[in-house]
Amino acid sequence: MSVGSLLILPGDGIGPEVMAEVRRIIDWYGEKRDLSFDVSEDLVGGAAYDKHGTPLADETMEKAQEVDAVLLGAVGGPKYDDLDFSVKPERGLLRLRKEMDLFANLRPAQCFDALADFSSLKKDVIAGLDIMIVRELTSGIYFGEPRGIFEEGNERVGVNTQRYTESEIDRVARSAFELAMKRGKKLCSMEKANVMESGILWREVVTEVAKDYPEVELSHMYADAGGMQLARWPKQFDVIVTDNLFGDLLSDVAAMLTGSLGMLPSASLGTPMANERPKALYEPVHGSAPDIAGQGKANPIACILSFAMALRYSFDLGDEADRLEAAIETVLAEGKRTADLLGEEGVTPVTTTEMGDAILAALDASL
Task: Tell me the catalytic residues.
Answer: 142, 192, 224, 248, 252
Residues whose CB is less than 8 angstroms from the CB of residue 267 and which lie 6 or more positions away in sequence, other chains included: 105, 106, 280, 281, 282, 306, 309, 310, 313
Can you tell me the distance from the alpha carbon of 109 to that of 38, in angstroms, rounded to the nearest whole number? 30
Q: Residue 82, Cβ neighbours under 10 Å: how many?
A: 7
Q: What is the edge-to-edge ordering of all strands in the sheet holding 69-74? A: 36-41, 2-11, 69-74, 280-284, 265-269, 104-110, 130-136, 239-242, 186-191, 217-222
Bridge partner list, 161: 144
Count CB-CB contacts under 10 A for residue 4.
17
Whole-angstrom distance, CA of residue 143 vs CA of residue 240? 22
Q: How far is 21 from 69, CA to CA, in rounded Å?
A: 18
